Amino acid sequence: MEGFQVVSRGPLSSPLTGSVPVGGAKNSALKLMAASLLAVGRTVVTNVPDILDVHVMARLLQELGCTVRVSTGSTTEDASTTEDAPNGSSRTGTLEVSIDVPAELGHEAPYDLVRRLRASISVLGPLVARCGRAKVALPGGDNIGSRGLDMHITGLHELGAQVRIEHGFVVAEVPDRLRGANLWLDFPSVGATENLVMAAVLAAGTTVIDNVAREPEISDLCEMLVAMGADIEGITTSTLTVRGVDELRPVEHATVPDRIVSGTWAFAAAVAGGELTVSGGRARHLDIVLDKLASAGGSVSADADGFTVRVDKRLESFDVVTLPYPGFPTDLQPFAMTLAAVSDGTAMITENVFEARFMFAQELARLGADLRTDGHHAVVRGKPVLSGAPVVAHDIRAGAALVLAGLAADGTTVVAESHHIDRGYPRFAETLRRLGVEVERVELPDLAP
Ligand code: UD1
């Protein structure tokens, strides 16, 4: 098992200085790849992060009959040969993925691939729309909560599909063609919004979906669909109106920059101190986060190419409530908790999106954080310094946050199961090392069951 080993003397002891480039968003690129299924021909997705999940999605599209080529700047690889190289041969961390979609698609997404990637559920909508049927294994993914599919299923049913769960698969069949309907989501679910929009673009008639998620990754997907010939109104708002068309055409599309990776680097500067420029990061997608860091005593400046966070003293604690966009992102909550653990004062952190995110709190407590959780609230009392220890990453964001906690800890912190970090962050340890952090990848004995 792989781990990351970080050695530090605590916050501000070794400030991070320099510039970090941020590539395309994982949570967008995977959906853009799935959306390629909607048009026969070659779709090219650029600015794709070089992470394992992208290679798993490429394998899934191949399984459905597509020819997928992943190129890393100077080299092109068949998708099936790159899957085992989390950070591939790319030095930039950015890929171009070219997907040739045949007229006749397979309709079955097998468990072996789907269990490795929660986002594979996003092939459900396109497959139903294109093939009139889909059989997609129930997904696995992060250990951050129950992550239901009821809104995906109800929405597809409203659009005219017969949907059932059978032997670990979601099976959907459309007797004729999907037909437009008025839909309403109980909660602005990112995955359900994406699946339903991708189904509705090829339905007969108009679909209105209310209370949709408004994350920048959703707008990115909608913009690509519009470039493909879809008719979508209300992009960036809570109501999407989709007028179905008969067919879509393939396009080339550049993935929106990753606001969660950008936010992670903002928190890295806040936790360790220093002056870090996040180039390519869109400050306007992180308004609440950057505003909180500035109110806590950091200095934040944005320009056309990104933003810079400068922190030269211990920050003041601030409360966080996670909510769908434009609220504070749940994916950055573990970083906010880490910062609170070494800030001046007490912070209340409320997690409204994924109940199991607080598994992370137990690991942070192993590093000496003074915190208490009750349901979906956590109270964190800041201390000047944490204390290095072995800990375990349970998901992508928790893993990266534990590495940052290691920067705020005196001594050695070893984060086991670091493969989670590689699923979301291209070359994370290598980038930190370039910024002056004493961090290395280490081989660890497997954890006992
Ligand atoms: C996506 C992101 C994830 C991010 C999350 C919220 C990807 C691959 N992942 O996940 O990083 O943390 O958005 O910003 O893009 N729910 C239901 N029924 C449903 C659908 C969702 O109960 O049919 C619940 C989930 O269990 C969860 C909440 O709604 O508690 C939010 O889920 P959702 O917004 O769908 O997140 P994902 O698309 O899974």
- The CATH number for 178's domain is 3.65.10.10
Q: Of all atoms in ligand 1, which is nearest to the CA of residue 151?
A: 23
Give the residue whose CA is nearest to atom 16 of ligand 1: 148
Q: Does the residue 154 lie in any domain?
A: yes
**Angle at 242 (CA atoms; ends 241, 244), nearest 5 degrees:** 155
The tally of domains found in the chain comes to 3
pLDDT tens for the chain, 449 residues: list them.
899 999 999 999 999 999 999 999 999 999 999 999 999 999 999 999 999 899 999 999 999 999 999 998 544 555 554 443 333 334 446 999 999 999 999 999 999 998 888 889 999 999 999 999 999 998 754 554 445 899 999 999 999 999 999 998 999 999 889 999 999 999 999 999 999 999 999 999 999 999 999 999 999 999 999 999 999 999 999 999 999 999 999 999 999 999 999 999 999 999 999 999 999 999 999 999 999 999 999 999 998 889 999 999 999 999 999 999 999 999 999 999 999 999 999 999 999 999 888 999 999 999 999 999 999 999 999 999 999 999 999 999 999 999 999 999 999 999 999 999 998 999 999 999 999 999 999 999 876 66
pLDDT digits (tens, 9 = 90+) for 133-142: 999 998 754 5
Q: Which residues pair with 100 in a beta bridge?
A: 42, 67
pTM for this entry: 0.94
Q: Quote the pLDDT of residue 448.
A: 65
Provide the domain limits for residue 50: 40-102
| Residues 14 and 139 both lie in one domain | no
Q: Is 330 in the pocket of ligand 1 (CB under 6 A)?
A: yes
The response to whether residue 152 sits with its C-beta less than 6 Å from ligand 1 reads yes
Give 190's Cβ-side CA count (13 Å radius).
Answer: 23
Does residue 216 line the site of ligand 1, with CB under 6 A? no
* DSSP 8-state class, residue 31: H
CA of 41 from ligand 1 middle (Å) equals: 30
Cis, peptide link before residue 326, omega less than 30° from 0? yes
Q: Domain ends where: 217, 250, 283?
A: 250
Ligand 1: residue whose CA is nearest its atom 22: 148
Q: Following DSSP, what letter does each residue of 88-143 receive, concatenated?
A: -S-SSSEEEEEEEE-SS---EE-HHHHTT-GGGGGGHHHHHHHHSEEEEEPP---S
* CB crowding 238-254: b at 16 or more within 10 Å, else e: eebbbebeeebebbebb
Listed residues 226, 250, 274: the one ending a domain:
250
Closest C-alpha among 317, 326, 383 to residue 349:
317
Q: Are 173 and 246 in the same domain?
A: yes
Phi-psi region of 368 (alpha: psi -120 to 50; beta: other; left: phi over 0): left
333 lines ligand 1 (CB under 6 A): no
359 and 384, same domain (yes or no): yes
Do residue 205 and residue 261 come from a single domain?
no
Q: Assess if residue 26 is contained within a domain.
A: no
Residue 396: CB within 6 Å of ligand 1? no
Q: Which of 50, 78, 100, 142 is catalytic?
A: 142
33 assigned to some structural domain: no
Name the residue of 190, 289, 330, 420 to mutate for ligand 1: max ligand atoms within 8 A of Cβ. Answer: 190
Is the C-beta atom of 191 inside 6 A of ligand 1?
yes
CA angle 406, 408, 409 (to 5 degrees): 65
Whether residue 64 contacts residue 298, with contact meaning beta carbons closer than 8 Å, is answered with: no
Question: Which ligand 1 atom minimizes the distance to the CA of 191?
Answer: 38
CA of 189 to the centre of ligand 1 (A): 5
Find out whether the beta carbon of 156 lies less than 6 Å from any atom of ligand 1.
no
Alpha-carbon distance of 280 to 264, in angstroms, equals 14
- Taking the centre of ligand 1 as the mean of its atom positions, its distance from the CA of residue 204, in whole angstroms, is 27
55 within ligand 1 shell (Cβ under 6 A): no
Cα of 244 vs centre of ligand 1, distance in Å, is 25
Which of 250, 278, 294 is where one domain is finished?
250
Same domain, 433 and 302: yes
> Do 341 and 413 belong together in one domain?
yes
Mutate to test the pocket of ligand 1, among 28, 120, 147 (most ligand atoms within 8 A of CB): 147
Same domain, 139 and 287: no
- Give the DSSP per-residue string, 232-265: EE-TTSSEEEEE--S-----EEEPPB-HHHHHHH
Ligand 1: atom nearest CA of 325 is: 14
pLDDT value of residue 275: 97
Q: Does residue 55 contact residue 63 with C-beta atoms inside 8 Å?
A: no
28 within domain boundaries: no
Q: With a 6 A CB cut-off, is 119 part of the ligand 1 pocket?
A: yes
Alpha helices in 369-435 (DSSP H): 396-407, 419-422, 428-434
Indicate whether 27 belongs to any domain: no
Q: Are residues 241 and 350 in the same domain?
A: no
Q: Is residue 262 part of a domain?
A: yes
Distance of CA 75 from the midpoint of ligand 1 (Å): 35
Asked whether residue 289 is assigned to any structural domain, the reply reads yes
* Same structural domain, 245 and 276: no
Query: pLDDT value at position 89?
Result: 36
CA 405, CA 267: separation in Å to the nearest integer? 10
Please calculate the CA angle 335-336-340 and round it to the nearest 5 degrees.
Answer: 115
Residue with tokens 């090392």: 433
Same domain, 290 and 426: yes
142 among known catalytic residues:
yes
CA of 266 to the centre of ligand 1 (A): 23
Distance 448 CA to ligand 1 centre (A): 30
**Ligand 1 pocket, residue 259 CB under 6 Å:** no
Shared domain for 301 and 364, answered yes or no, is: yes
Name which residue sits closest to atom 18 of ligand 1, judged by CA: 148
Ligand 1 center–CA 442 separation, angstroms:
32
- Is 147 touching ligand 1 by the criterion CB < 6 Å? yes
In a domain, 128, yes or no: yes
Residues 209 and 304 in one domain: no
Residue with tokens 């041969």: 89
Rg (CA), the chain: 22
